[in-house]
């Protein structure tokens, strides 16, 4: 693509990125309104769990996280009546929360949001992505949703997406980043076999980082924290899938399991299991990082709108490639819908069940090979592949069947 065609393409992309951010801007206004009208606990959203986990851990009260009644009483004693809250992370996550929770709740979650975005920008730049590319990912609707809900999608995308982009040139660093992503293990189901086949060094460093992280959590919080996670948190999160309760958690799911749930529990479990196994098998064979990121989303039964930030990174990588090779018919529309969707879901949750279908179509796009049409209407004259500027074509040897 020549310089003249790059300028309008870049301008178009900038306008689309800004347009896609509009729904999240309205959501941010609603959160600010709630904060100004005394609804601080509700305005903090999932950031309340982030702060509470770290606060209780810093004050030696980790067992409260694994006692539903005590945890709800603790939160409501500070902020009054609140929506349902449940601690849903392994003890390794507490190592992260305690790094911020010596601050007040709002300062803690905003510092965490800023640090996550900064890390994401850093790893994308280390992976030699342009500032335009990096800014677009940071402004993706899924990224904005993660910030507005004070979730960890930016951090996980930095660890998983950034790690995958780095393993070709920095396998040790890439592996360590992926190993640290075990703080949210359901998003990494497809990664072990991929790493083992494509980069044994990265696999080894990922495993080492995961083990050291678990050991650090035991040293910091004791084995009782892991016992609480195994006997309370893990069953509680499984209960969300099996019973659909609490509704505040299950209603936001956009996974294959959630799409199949109206068919009944057992059919939904079988469908999700089949998709997960197929995704793991496909991930072991693929060489496409965008495809791997999409497969990771499809493999997880527990998926929310902000978790699609890794898929948004996949979209950005595909667009980066298609600007060189050309878009297939309707492919640009698909990529825009996949990018825009996470920002639209809070306003139109009825479209949540379309998310797995969009991911499947996006996977097909990621696996598509070859160009479609030239980016520029002005065609260069045919040149021999063996020739270069200023030189005559190298003649074929006698007896060759190559065109003369």
Whether the Cβ atoms of residue 191 and residue 286 lie closer than 8 Å to each other: no
Domain hosting residue 71, numbered range: 17-367
Domain membership of residue 215 (yes or no) is yes
Domain membership of residue 152 (yes or no) is yes
Domain membership of residue 298 (yes or no) is yes
Residues 6+ apart with CB under 8 A from 34: 40, 42, 43
| DSSP symbols for 85-140 | ----S-THHHHHHTTTTTS-HHHHHHHHHHHHHHHHHHHHHHTT--HHHHHHHHTS
So what's the pLDDT on residue 295? 98
Number of domains forming the structure of the chain: 1
So what's the pLDDT on residue 298? 97
CA 279 to chain CA centroid, nearest Å: 16
So what's the pLDDT on residue 42? 86
So what's the pLDDT on residue 378? 41
Domain membership of residue 376 (yes or no) is no
- Residues 201 and 209: their CA atoms lie apart, in Å, by 12
So what's the pLDDT on residue 14? 86
Question: Mind listing the pLDDT tens digit of every residue in the chain (404 residues)?
Answer: 444 445 557 788 889 898 889 989 988 888 888 888 888 888 888 999 999 999 999 999 999 999 988 999 999 999 988 888 889 999 999 999 999 988 999 999 999 999 999 999 999 999 999 999 999 999 999 999 999 999 999 999 999 999 999 999 999 999 999 999 999 999 999 999 999 999 999 999 999 999 999 999 999 999 999 999 999 999 988 888 888 777 777 778 999 999 999 999 999 999 999 999 999 999 999 999 999 999 999 999 999 999 999 999 999 999 999 999 999 999 999 999 999 999 988 888 888 889 999 999 999 999 987 555 444 434 444 443 333 344 334 344 334 333 33
SS3 321: helix
pTM, two decimal places: 0.87
Rounded-to-10 torsion of CA 93, 94, 98, 101: 80
For residue 317, the tally of other CB atoms under 10 A from its CB is 21
Domain membership of residue 251 (yes or no) is yes
So what's the pLDDT on residue 41? 82
Domain membership of residue 120 (yes or no) is yes
So what's the pLDDT on residue 391? 39
Domain membership of residue 284 (yes or no) is yes
Whether the Cβ atoms of residue 54 and residue 108 lie closer than 8 Å to each other: yes
Domain membership of residue 148 (yes or no) is yes
């Amino acid at each position: 693509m020549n310089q003249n065609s790059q300028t309008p393409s870049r301008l178009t992309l900038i306008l689309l990125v800004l347009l896609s951010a509009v729904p999240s801007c309205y959501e941010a206004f609603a959160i600010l309104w709630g904060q100004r009208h005394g609804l601080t606990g509700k305005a903090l959203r999932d950031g309340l769990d982030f702060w509470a986990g770290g606060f209780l851990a810093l004050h030696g009260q980790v067992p409260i996280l694994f006692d539903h009644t005590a945890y709800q009483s603790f939160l409501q004693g500070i902020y009054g009546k609140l929506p349902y809250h449940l601690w849903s992370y392994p003890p390794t996550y507490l190592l992260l929360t305690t790094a911020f929770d010596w601050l007040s709740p709002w300062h803690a979650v905003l510092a965490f949001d800023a640090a996550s975005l900064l890390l994401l920008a850093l790893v994308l730049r280390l992976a030699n992505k342009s500032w335009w590319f990096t800014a677009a990912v940071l402004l993706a609707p899924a990224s904005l949703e993660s910030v507005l809900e004070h979730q960890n999608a930016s951090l996980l995308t930095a660890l998983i997406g950034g790690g995958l982009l780095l393993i070709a040139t920095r396998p040790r660093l890439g592996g360590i980043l992926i190993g640290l992503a075990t703080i949210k293990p359901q998003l990494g189901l497809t990664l072990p076999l991929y790493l083992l086949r494509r980069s044994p060094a990265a696999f080894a460093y990922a495993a080492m980082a995961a083990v050291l992280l678990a050991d650090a959590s035991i040293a910091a919080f004791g084995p009782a924290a892991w016992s609480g996670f195994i006997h309370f948190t893990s069953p509680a999160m499984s209960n969300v899938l099996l019973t659909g309760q609490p509704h505040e958690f299950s209603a936001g799911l956009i996974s294959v399991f959630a799409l199949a749930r109206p068919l009944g529990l057992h059919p939904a479990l079988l469908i999700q299991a089949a998709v997960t196994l197929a995704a793991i098998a496909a991930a072991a064979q693929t060489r496409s990082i965008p495809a791997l990121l999409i497969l990771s989303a499809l493999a997880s039964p527990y998926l929310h709108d902000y978790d699609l930030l890794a898929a948004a990174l996949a979209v950005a990588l595909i667009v980066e490639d298609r600007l060189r090779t050309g878009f297939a018919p309707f492919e640009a529309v698909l990529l825009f819908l996949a990018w825009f969707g996470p920002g639209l879901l809070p306003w139109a949750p009825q479209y949540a069940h379309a998310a797995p279908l969009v991911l499947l179509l996006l996977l097909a796009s990621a696996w598509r090979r070859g160009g479609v049409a030239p980016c520029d209407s002005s065609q260069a004259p045919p040149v021999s592949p063996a020739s270069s500027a200023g030189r005559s074509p190298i003649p074929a040897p006698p007896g060759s069947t190559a065109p003369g």
